[in-house]
Amino acid sequence: MDKKIYIEPIFKKNPVTVLVLGICSSLAVTVKLEPAVVMAISVTIVTGFSSFIISIIRNTIPNRIRIIVQLVVVAMLVILVDQILQAYTYDVSKQLSVFVGLIITNCIIMGRIEAYALGNKPLPSLVDGLANGAGYGLILIVIAFVRELFGSGTLYGFKIIPDAWYIKNGGFYENNGLFILPPMALILVGLIIWVQRSISKDLIEKN
């Protein structure tokens, strides 16, 4: 198998920062680290297995209802993930609430199925899906790390900023409310894209 399939989506062809897919949910679930991690895992599983299943049946799908068939498969996997989360990790599923259902609308999933799984064998499609999910998850976790630290003063629910630092306790520090709001996530995505393009110059368009 070509190494590129699972290396590139992490950095060079990262779905969020290079292909600019899945921006919507990376703004919504990155206020805290824990939901971001669960979301990253869930999306990775759904992208991987939807690509795998679609790739298996790719030669039988009637072209005219191609998108509908893809959606049915993706929706099935998302509902399964949601049900399993509700049964085994109830507290986390409560935090993610609507966003699990919204995995269906994550552009990365349909994007990878259309761009890769429809034209490739099942195993490479599975790896491609998983790697893209991981690339997405990586960005999600980086953004959530920054937002939770500066917006809530915690990481994964643990207090990082000492209580005594806060103004209400006589200190000098105040959590930055902007980090909790979605616009800050967009600014952070922009910063990550900037840093990434400074590192690998070949990503910059010629004209």
User: Where does this chain bind other proteins (CB under 8 A)?
Assistant: 29, 31-32, 35, 60-65, 68-69, 72-73, 75-76, 79-80, 83-84, 86-88, 90, 95, 97-98, 151-152, 177, 180-181
Asked if residue 135 lies in contact with residue 17, where contact means CB atoms within 8 angstroms, the answer is no
Minimum Å gap between C-beta 127 and other proteins is 24
Q: Which is nearer to other proteins, 17 or 70 (CB)?
A: 70
Minimum Å gap between C-beta 93 and other proteins is 9
Minimum Å gap between C-beta 80 and other proteins is 6
192-201, Cβ contacts within 8 angstroms, sequence gap of 24 or more? 192/17, 192/139, 192/142, 192/143, 193/17, 193/18, 196/11, 196/14, 196/17, 196/18, 200/11, 200/12
Minimum Å gap between C-beta 174 and other proteins is 12
Q: Which is nearer to other proteins, 59 or 207 (CB)?
A: 59
Q: Which is nearer to other proteins, 15 or 151 (CB)?
A: 151
Minimum Å gap between C-beta 52 and other proteins is 15
Torsion angle defined by CA atoms of residues 124, 128, 134 and 136, in that order, rounded to the nearest 10 degrees:
-170
Q: Which is nearer to other proteins, 142 or 184 (CB)?
A: 184
Alpha carbon distance 136, 23 (integer Å): 9
Cα separations (Å) of 64 from 67, 68, 158, 171? Answer: 8, 9, 51, 64
Minimum Å gap between C-beta 90 and other proteins is 4
Q: Which is nearer to other proteins, 79 or 161 (CB)?
A: 79
DSSP label at residue 14: -
Q: Which is nearer to other proteins, 69 or 193 (CB)?
A: 69
Coarse DSSP helix, strand, coil percentages of the chain, rounded to the nearest 5 percent: 70, 5, 25
